Amino acid sequence: MSNTIKQRLAQAEKALGRQDYEQAGALFEAIVTEQPETHRAWFGLGEVALGISQLDTAVPFLEHAVQLAPDTVSYLQRLGELYGRIGLVREGVEVLMQARRRAPKDLGVLASLSGAYVKAGDWHKARAVLKDLAALPGAGAGHWCLLGLACQELGELDAALAALKKATVLAPKYADAWLSLGHLYLQRKLLPDTERCLKKLFELAPNQVPTLGLAGEVALLHCNFREAADFYRAAARLAPGDAMLQAKLALALVQSGDAEAAVDAMTRAHEMGLPEDWILENLGFLFTTRGQLDAARENLEMAVERQPGNLNAWNTLIVVYGKLGLLEKARQAAEKILEQDPHHANALVNLGGWYSDQARNEEALACYKRALAADPEGGGKVYANLLWALVHSTETKVTDILDIARDFDRKLCLPLLRQDDFADRDRNLGRRLRIGWLTSDMRSHPVATFVLPFVREFDSAQVENFFYYNSRAADSVTEIAKSMADCWREVIGLGDEALAKLIRADEIDILIDLNGNTEGHRLLAVARKPAPIQVTWLGYPGTSGMTAMDYILIPPDPVLEKGDWCTETPWPLPDCYGVRAIPDRPVLPGLPCERLQRPFTFACLNGFRKVSQGAIRLWSRILLAAPDTRLLLIARGGNDGTMIEYVHGQFGRHGIAPQRLEIMGMLGTNAYFDTYNEVDLCLDPFPFNGGTTGYDSIWMGVPFITWPGDMLVSRMGKPILENVGLAELVVESEEAYVDLAVALANDHERLKRLRANLRERMQASPLLDAPRMARALEGAFREMWQKWCEQKGERCVG
């Protein structure tokens, strides 16, 4: 090569170095025209083409350079990388293997070869090359990071963890290593370690899409949906064309209750190429959370029609079908999932709910236990359903419930409990107390009808009411509740930790959990003990099992006051369990059987899940002993052939013909209350008595028979009857229950005396005396506060 060519090559390469591609290209082209065997010039032309993103143009230039100088490792490496970029993956691997044979310890070549194997989908070979690379002197953090990613892809998580940790040690400011390590910890559900990596990422790369994306995932796992949405929104602003970021933003917005913004994000994701079945699935979920069940069904059915393997859509369909009373369809949806994934915890929980709706508690319990085994770490929802099923079963003992409740506390709640002495709290015994009401039911829901009457009557000098509302649903009842609150907080998008911090910052003195183990509960926030005194009441009439829960409110009852059925300290209210606001529907005069000229009608208007096997057996005895009577039941799915067939079969086992039963579907409010005008005598279910329905039955002039058990759920009917002078309808045995029901069916005059002026008696009783209940609760709160202050000892003033 002449000195002139060498000088011109140097000049061309300098131009290439400063990215003056036009001058470099002209110089290299002149050289190859004059001296075609100059391989450096051909390589230079390839580099110029790569610099201006003309990949196909670069190929023949680099191929010619390799042909002229086949032992030049840098040429082979560059050509192999280029082949991979244009989709010639296999050819790229072959060329890079040639480079490796010529330079077996070249770090760059080994890194490129591992990348080629990754593109080829051969993670085992990629991992082998990266292990060789990492063993060489000079291997850097990037190489160890790549090795960690390869091991992670192969499921070798311990090896991946070791490699990624090595990368962070070699380069503590290498953000990619911290990001990969954070994702690995997240995969292993090691959230504290993930958060440590995230903290480092916010130091090194705070406004980068990967950092914000990982922060969003962590926030979602903590159920901090609002915070997750904020992170994804910020990431999406930085990467406006990223469809998956829009998808994740949409999911966070759905969960946080921002429906309009969620739909906008879904639309953008779809426009960016996300498949239609994904959009339909998430619209279905959104409509489900908003109670728009027909719209939810339409979207979800289209989603599974387009993609039959969409398990998330099938899982939401189980819930939608169940709420619509389409029980057979709900079962089929669950089976679709379990055929593909027998350990799908959510499907097992939802199938358990399907069984529960039919009072098939043993099958429901089996589903919940399978779900708990499948997902022991995510078991908050499973434990709630498991306990709910246990309290409905006549086969359950108090010790069984206590064992499961304590297990829930030990595994999920106690690790969250904080030892806070609330030293900042003003311990003046007579000061205004700040009461927190934690609920998902301040809407058209029975719990609201028990709470709002006495809240209206509170003495504002005694209590200050903070409501923490955990639901996307809102209606006119919600607006009434808001108007009564001193402070109203929407907490549906907050995670448990964030909610606990909010309650703590609000300096709540007494926190009342109104959900217990019902849908929408926030027990894992309560488990953190954000208030000095914590009480459970109303939503779930049973023990929480939680160390963090101090008291459970109960009616005055010596059996319950013993406390051997709960882990909390029972706190008896002076007269009854609660007061209820009830619609003013008319009561028609006389016995329905005489007025309507039809058989004497027994009824249970509770949800059918309360109709236990023991109740079916006992009520069948009543129907057999009183052959001219019938039984009216309400059941979700009461218009569904599968449900009707099941109920007929259960009673048929005990000799009851189908025509003795009337099974109604779920009713609207007015139709439900008017149905009492067709009922002569109600039968209280057991072991889970009617609570709301007990009040409603008496209000509508219909007495009921109750058989108390040994837990709060089975002693709900007793104080209702006693408060209206019907203690004679509280029986102590199965035989007494049957005998009394048959006697009243045959003695219409006695029954008329029991029914006489029932509404007036109820109006004059503590059951509807909201001011009296307000004073009782104010007294209870004051006494609880005094006990807590006395236990703390110092700085208490009267």
Tell me: the pLDDT tens digits for 657-680? 999 999 998 889 999 999 999 999
Same domain, yes or no: 22 and 64: yes
User: How does DSSP assign 430-496, residue by residue?
Assistant: TSPEEEEEEES--SSSHHHHHHHHHHTT--TTTEEEEEEE--S---HHHHHHHHH-SEEEE-TT--H
Same domain, yes or no: 81 and 184: yes
**pLDDT tens digits, one per residue of 225-253:** 889 999 999 999 999 999 889 989 998 99
Q: Is residue 478 over pLDDT 60?
A: yes
Report pTM: 0.77
Confidence of residue 751 (pLDDT cuts 50, 70, 90): very high
339 CB burial (10 A radius; 0-12, 13-18, 19+): exposed
**pLDDT tens digits, one per residue of 21-43:** 999 899 999 988 989 999 999 99
What mean pLDDT is predicted for residues 615-631? Answer: 98
Backbone angles phi, psi at 14, to 5 degrees: -65, -40
Same domain, yes or no: 87 and 178: yes
249 within domain boundaries: no
253 within domain boundaries: no
Q: Looking at residue 255, what is its pLDDT? A: 82
CATH number, position 290:
1.25.40.10
Q: Looking at residue 378, what is its pLDDT? A: 66
Same domain, yes or no: 620 and 728: yes
Three-state DSSP at 541 gives coil
Same domain, yes or no: 555 and 605: no
Confidence of residue 45 (pLDDT cuts 50, 70, 90): very high
Query: Token pair for residue 433?
Result: 């107390």
Angle formed by the axes of helices 141-153 and 157-170, to 10°? Answer: 170
Amino acid in position 7: Q
Same domain, yes or no: 151 and 187: yes
Among 183, 208, 233, the domain-final residue is 208
H-state helical runs in 655-699? 669-675, 692-699
Same domain, yes or no: 436 and 545: yes
Same domain, yes or no: 601 and 568: no
**pLDDT tens digits, one per residue of 295-343:** 999 999 999 999 999 999 999 999 999 888 888 899 899 999 999 999 9
Same domain, yes or no: 696 and 752: yes
Q: Is residue 286 over pLDDT 90?
A: no
Same domain, yes or no: 756 and 613: yes
Same domain, yes or no: 604 and 748: yes
634 within domain boundaries: yes
Among 572, 603, 625, the domain-final residue is 572
- Whole-angstrom distance, CA of residue 700 vs CA of residue 720: 14
- DSSP assignment letter at 658: G
Q: Looking at residue 74, what is its pLDDT? A: 93
Range of the domain at 637: 592-768
Q: Looking at residue 758, what is its pLDDT? A: 97
Among the ranges given (215-229, 260-274, 586-600), the one the predictor scored with the smallest mean pLDDT:
260-274
135 within domain boundaries: yes
577 within domain boundaries: no
Averaged pLDDT score across all residues of the chain: 92
Same domain, yes or no: 676 and 616: yes
CATH number, position 550:
3.40.50.11380
408 within domain boundaries: no
Q: Looking at residue 317, what is its pLDDT? A: 94
- Whole-angstrom distance, CA of residue 611 vs CA of residue 198: 51
218 within domain boundaries: no
Angle formed by the axes of helices 770-792 and 446-455, to 10°? Answer: 80
Total domains in the chain come to: 4
Q: Is residue 394 over pLDDT 80?
A: yes
Q: Looking at residue 189, what is its pLDDT? A: 82
- Whole-angstrom distance, CA of residue 51 vs CA of residue 25: 11
Among 152, 179, 208, the domain-final residue is 208
- Whole-angstrom distance, CA of residue 299 vs CA of residue 9: 65
449 within domain boundaries: yes
- Whole-angstrom distance, CA of residue 185 vs CA of residue 152: 11
**pLDDT tens digits, one per residue of 400-451:** 999 999 999 999 999 999 988 899 899 999 999 999 999 999 999 999 999 9
Task: Give the DSSP H or E segment for 681.
Answer: strand 681-683
